[in-house]
């Protein structure tokens, strides 16, 4: 005989320590009732804590976990929040629909996909898969690329994605982001149409399709929309200022079906991802689109000193279109931010490196310091300086400056001028040409290697004569460019040679192959500036190799293996914080970006980027601005103005710094003959 025992499922622990753990504004947002809610969460104001407690509070009120949808921009953020919810409630938060928009869309489409023409076993294409499929579509569309370079598949993918996420025609996106490909508009539209057809035939979707079909479910199938409205009783969206038009449409379509029980959390002052399709008006006009919206402002800042916050508040107030707020410091007073003019980028790098080592000696770990910049190119000279001083660092704005593909492309041109037997450099150059693959590149190198001077052989009329007809014109054009480059090498400085590379067909290759080509062009220009301190091409190339050898060496005096200074673009630094922050290259044309200023409302977004940069600092903030810049062409100097973001702030809110040189200052020494 057996006995049955019943165990009642334990609900969430309602003893949430709201009074202890939350301030008044946070508690108001956490414990509010139903309906549309906008939480403006300033930098360092406890946004994550507020969202976490809101979810826990909903569960404590009896909302089933499966009726809560929490959309975030990273799966990591969702996992962290749900883990905290479990700690708070003592229950299992696994049934909550938490994750990125794409992850949640995938879960729904696995269930409802057949309603929009998707079999439930559809495949998801990653970025590489999408590029490969687009490459096939270019071939099938019979695009003739003999005369002009056609955009590379990766660039086509970016353009198609931006068109979808911004809900604009491909032609409009092309005109804005890549006008030099305007002659290919018709062909690109044909390739994009073929790409869509190919995906459907293969029962495959890319990342954008996960949003496209999710929205289609809501728009075209009222019964599904009603069911999802009932299922998701409570909607929460994190980092709402970063949503694009499609994501905002999905959220509001769902909210229409659940009584607009929707809470969005974000900071319009940290809206800095327009280049990815983020739509600023989503958060700015949320109350207008959702009548009856209750707005909460989290203004208590637990991160920065009062001096840093007074500085940042003064800056962002110059933006007119925003949800007004003033961050209030909860920490004791500290030191004023330091604004420091420096002679040039070399002195800037020397100051930053020296100050970082001083702070480290004073007990500030390297990992508690960061150098931020508007564009990756601005870090090139600093990276070289840090390597020479044996300061370990990690780059969070992409790969190390000298390891970037487009930098290596340019350097490959220079390497064959110095060493015509450099097979690796030759192969890299061959593979840049249309209609040239690895097999053909190997054949071309074999033809060169048989000669006493491969460079002379490369310029001979016989090279490529036995290649397929489609490849010969490209080899011929490369020979013309190479001939001009060799002539320039006879009497021009290494920095001028970099400019000469750009005057060849490489500029067309850069535009056709890589996304964000203007910023990559700026990288190359900064490489030219870096090369100004070397007398010979050989010494310059040797130094680049030695810089690579020094990567990762530990700082003098010893340090933990994991202790590294952070170098990061401002965009990559969003959401992070450090005790000490340096913001470099604070001059007009660099920060704010000259290119961004040409765009509508570009200045406002640049100021928001500056706001994000300065609000990363907890204890100390340094802002440096070079007074002169070396011309990338090697023909003189350019006078620089301090950034308008510095000039518009009252001088009483910062300390004016001054660099004192203890010995005769010279920029980068020439290490070779």
Residue 636's pLDDT is 67
Residue 234's pLDDT is 95
3-state SS class at 223 = helix
Residue 157 is encoded by which pair of tokens? Answer: 């993918």
Residue 306's pLDDT is 97
CA dist list (Å): 650 to 172, 237, 615, 645, 656: 41, 37, 18, 11, 12
Determine which one of 158, 206, 209, 238 is catalytic. Answer: 238
Residue 556's pLDDT is 37
Residue linked to tokens 């007009």: 588
Question: Closest Cα to residue 264, out of 234, 226, 291?
Answer: 234
* DSSP type of residue 335: P
Determine which one of 31, 48, 74, 293 is catalytic. Answer: 48
Is residue 550's pLDDT more than 60? no
Determine which one of 37, 47, 54, 585 is catalytic. Answer: 47
Handedness of CA 383, 403, 584, 495 (dihedral sign): positive
Residue 668 is encoded by which pair of tokens? Answer: 């980068």
Residue 547's pLDDT is 60
Peptide bond into 11 cis (omega under 30): no
For residues 153-170, give the mean pLDDT.
91
DSSP per-residue letters across 114-161: GGGT--TT-EE--HHHHHHHHHHHHHHTT---SSSPPPPHHHHHHHHH
Give 557-588 pLDDT, tens digit per residue: 334 446 899 999 999 999 899 999 999 999 99
Residue 666's pLDDT is 46
Are residues 272 and 574 in contact, defined by beta-carbon separation less than 8 angstroms?
Answer: yes
Main-chain phi, psi angles of 323, to 5 degrees: -85, 110
Determine which one of 243, 270, 383, 513 is catalytic. Answer: 270
DSSP per-residue letters across 378-393: GGHHHHHHHHHTT--E
Residue 416's pLDDT is 84
Residue 554's pLDDT is 36
Determine which one of 84, 616, 618, 644 is catalytic. Answer: 616
CA R_g for the chain? 28
Are residues 119 and 134 in contact, defined by beta-carbon separation less than 8 angstroms?
Answer: no
Residue 124 is encoded by which pair of tokens? Answer: 């998801």
Residue 534 is encoded by which pair of tokens? Answer: 């070397």
Residue 17 is encoded by which pair of tokens? Answer: 């320590």
In the chain, how many H helices and how many E strands? 30, 19
Is residue 608's pLDDT more than 90? yes
Provide the pairing of β-strand 637-639 with 628-630. antiparallel
Distance from C-alpha of 186 to C-alpha of 12, rounded to nearest angstrom: 58
Residue 7's pLDDT is 55
3-state SS class at 16 = coil
Residue 270 annotated to the active site:
yes
Residue 559's pLDDT is 44
Q: For all residues of the chain together, what is the average pLDDT?
A: 86
* DSSP type of residue 490: T
Among 340-344, 451-455, 466-470, 639-643, the least confident range: 466-470
Among 119-123, 539-543, 591-595, the least confident range: 539-543
For residues 62-69, give the mean pLDDT.
93
Distance from C-alpha of 529 to C-alpha of 668, rounded to nearest angstrom: 11
DSSP per-residue letters across 442-488: HHHHHHHHTSS-HHHHHTSTTTTTTS-TTTHHHHHHHHHHHHHHHHH
Residue linked to tokens 């007004």: 324
Give 233-253 pLDDT, tens digit per residue: 999 999 999 999 999 999 999
If DSSP states are collapsed to H, E and C, what string results for 347-381? HHHHHHHHHHHHHHHCCCCHHHEEEEECCHHHHHH
Tally of CA atoms within 13 A in the half-sphere of 508 that contains its CB: 15
DSSP per-residue letters across 396-446: SSSS-GGGSHHHHHHHHHHHHHH-TT-HHHHHHHHHTSTT--HHHHHHHHH
Residue 320 annotated to the active site:
no
Residue 48 annotated to the active site:
yes
For residues 461-468, give the mean pLDDT.
73
Taking the mean position of all CA atoms in its chain, how far away is CA 351?
27
Residue linked to tokens 């001009």: 484
Residue 472's pLDDT is 81
Helical packing angle, 602-614 and 306-316, nearest 10°: 180
Which residues make Cβ contacts (< 8 Å) with residue 303, sequence separation at least 6? 43, 44, 331, 577, 615, 618
3-state SS class at 650 = coil
Are residues 628 and 344 in contact, defined by beta-carbon separation less than 8 angstroms?
Answer: yes
Are residues 474 and 434 in contact, defined by beta-carbon separation less than 8 angstroms?
Answer: yes
Distance from C-alpha of 381 to C-alpha of 348, rounded to nearest angstrom: 9
For residues 396 and 553, the model is more confident at 396
pLDDT category, 633, cuts 50, 70, 90?
Answer: low
Tally of CA atoms within 13 A in the half-sphere of 609 that contains its CB: 28
Residue linked to tokens 């707020």: 325
Residue 239 annotated to the active site:
yes
Are residues 257 and 233 in contact, defined by beta-carbon separation less than 8 angstroms?
Answer: no
Main-chain phi, psi angles of 301, to 5 degrees: -100, 125
pLDDT category, 16, cuts 50, 70, 90?
Answer: low
pLDDT category, 373, cuts 50, 70, 90?
Answer: very high
By the 10 Å C-beta count (0-12 exposed, 13-18 middle, 19+ buried), 343 is classed as middle
Give 318-372 pLDDT, tens digit per residue: 999 999 999 999 999 999 999 999 999 999 999 999 999 999 999 999 999 999 9
Residue 671's pLDDT is 39
Distance from C-alpha of 106 to C-alpha of 44, rounded to nearest angstrom: 32
pLDDT category, 435, cuts 50, 70, 90?
Answer: confident
Residue 553's pLDDT is 38
pLDDT category, 76, cuts 50, 70, 90?
Answer: confident
Distance from C-alpha of 464 to C-alpha of 509, rounded to nearest angstrom: 20
Main-chain phi, psi angles of 582, to 5 degrees: -110, 130
Among 382-396, 494-508, 531-545, the least confident range: 531-545
Determine which one of 239, 307, 522, 523 is catalytic. Answer: 239
Is residue 101's pLDDT more than 80? yes
CA dist list (Å): 176 to 60, 405, 423, 483, 565: 49, 25, 39, 35, 37
Task: Pick from 307-321, 495-509, 630-644 the range whose average pLDDT is largest.
Answer: 307-321
Tally of CA atoms within 13 A in the half-sphere of 231 that contains its CB: 14
Give 268-277 pLDDT, tens digit per residue: 999 999 988 8
Residue 537's pLDDT is 84
Distance from C-alpha of 250 to C-alpha of 228, rounded to nearest angstrom: 11
CA dist list (Å): 215 to 35, 139, 187, 221, 604: 22, 31, 28, 10, 31
By the 10 Å C-beta count (0-12 exposed, 13-18 middle, 19+ buried), 183 is classed as exposed
Residue 424's pLDDT is 79
Residue 616 annotated to the active site:
yes
């Amino acid at each position: 005989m057996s006995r049955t025992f019943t165990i009642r499922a334990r609900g969430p622990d309602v003893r949430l320590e709201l009074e202890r753990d939350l301030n008044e504004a946070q508690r108001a947002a956490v414990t509010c009732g139903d309906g549309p809610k906008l939480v403006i969460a300033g930098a360092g104001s406890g946004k994550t804590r507020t969202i976490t407690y809101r979810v826990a509070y909903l569960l404590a009120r009896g909302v089933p976990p499966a009726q809560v949808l929490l959309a975030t921009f990273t799966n990591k953020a969702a996992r962290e929040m749900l883990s905290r919810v479990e700690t708070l409630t003592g229950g299992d938060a696994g049934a909550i629909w938490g994750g990125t928009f794409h992850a949640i869309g995938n879960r729904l489409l696995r269930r409802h996909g057949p309603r929009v023409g998707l079999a439930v076993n559809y495949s998801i294409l990653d970025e590489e898969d999408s590029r490969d499929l687009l490459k096939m579509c270019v071939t099938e569309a019979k695009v003739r690329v003999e005369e002009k370079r056609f955009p590379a598949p990766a660039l086509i993918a970016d353009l198609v994605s931006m068109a979808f996420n911004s809900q604009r025609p491909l032609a409009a996106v092309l005109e804005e982001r890549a006008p030099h490909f305007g002659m290919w508009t018709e062909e690109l539209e044909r390739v994009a149409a073929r790409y869509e057809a190919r995906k459907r035939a293969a029962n495959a979707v890319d990342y954008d399709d996960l949003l496209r079909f999710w929205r289609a479910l809501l728009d075209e199938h009222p019964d599904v929309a009603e069911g999802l409205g009932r299922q998701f009783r409570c909607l929460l969206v994190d980092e709402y200022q970063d949503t694009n038009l499609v994501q905002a449409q999905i959220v509001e379509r769902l909210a229409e079906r659940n009584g607009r029980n929707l809470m969005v959390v974000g900071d319009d002052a940290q809206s800095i991802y327009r280049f990815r399709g983020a739509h600023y008006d989503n958060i700015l006009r949320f109350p207008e689109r959702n009548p009856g919206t209750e707005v909460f402002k989290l203004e208590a800042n637990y991160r920065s000193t009062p001096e840093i916050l007074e500085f940042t508040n003064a800056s962002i107030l110059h933006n007119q279109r925003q949800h007004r707020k003033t961050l209030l410091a909860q920490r004791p007073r500290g030191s004023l931010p330091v604004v420091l003019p420096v002679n040039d980028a070399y002195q800037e790098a020397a100051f930053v490196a020296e100050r970082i080592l001083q702070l480290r000696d004073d007990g500030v770990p390297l990992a508690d310091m960061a150098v931020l910049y508007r564009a990756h190119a601005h870090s090139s000279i600093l990276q070289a300086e840090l390597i020479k001083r044996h300061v370990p660092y990690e780059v969070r704005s992409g790969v190390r400056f000298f390891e970037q593909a487009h930098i290596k492309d340019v350097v490959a041109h220079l390497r064959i001028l110095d060493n015509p037997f450099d097979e690796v450099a030759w192969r890299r150059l061959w593979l840049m040409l249309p209609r040239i693959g690895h097999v053909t590149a190997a054949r071309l190198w074999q033809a060169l290697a048989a000669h006493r001077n491969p460079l002379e052989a490369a310029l001979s009329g016989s090279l490529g004569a036995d290649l397929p007809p489609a490849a010969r014109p490209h080899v011929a054009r490369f020979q013309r460019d190479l001939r001009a480059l060799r002539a320039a090498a006879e009497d021009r400085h290494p920095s001028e040679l970099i400019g000469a590379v750009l005057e060849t067909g490489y500029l067309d290759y850069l535009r056709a192959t890589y996304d964000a080509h203007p910023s990559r062009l700026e990288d190359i220009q900064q490489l030219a500036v870096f090369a100004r301190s070397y007398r010979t091409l050989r010494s310059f190339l040797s130094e680049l190799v030695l810089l690579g050898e020094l990567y990762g060496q530990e700082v003098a005096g010893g340090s933990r293996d994991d202790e590294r200074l952070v170098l990061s673009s401002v965009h990559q630094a969003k959401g992070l914080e450090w005790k000490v922050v340096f913001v470099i290259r604070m001059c007009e044309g660099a920060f704010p970006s000259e290119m961004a200023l040409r765009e509508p409302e570009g200045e406002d977004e640049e100021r928001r980027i500056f706001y994000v940069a300065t609000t990363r600092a907890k204890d100390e903030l340094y802002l440096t601005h070079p007074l002169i810049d070396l011309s990338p062409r090697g023909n003189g100097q350019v006078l620089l103005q301090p950034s308008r973001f510095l000039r518009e702030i009252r001088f009483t809110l910062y300390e004016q710094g001054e660099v004192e040189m203890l010995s005769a200052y010279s920029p980068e020494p020439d290490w070779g003959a």
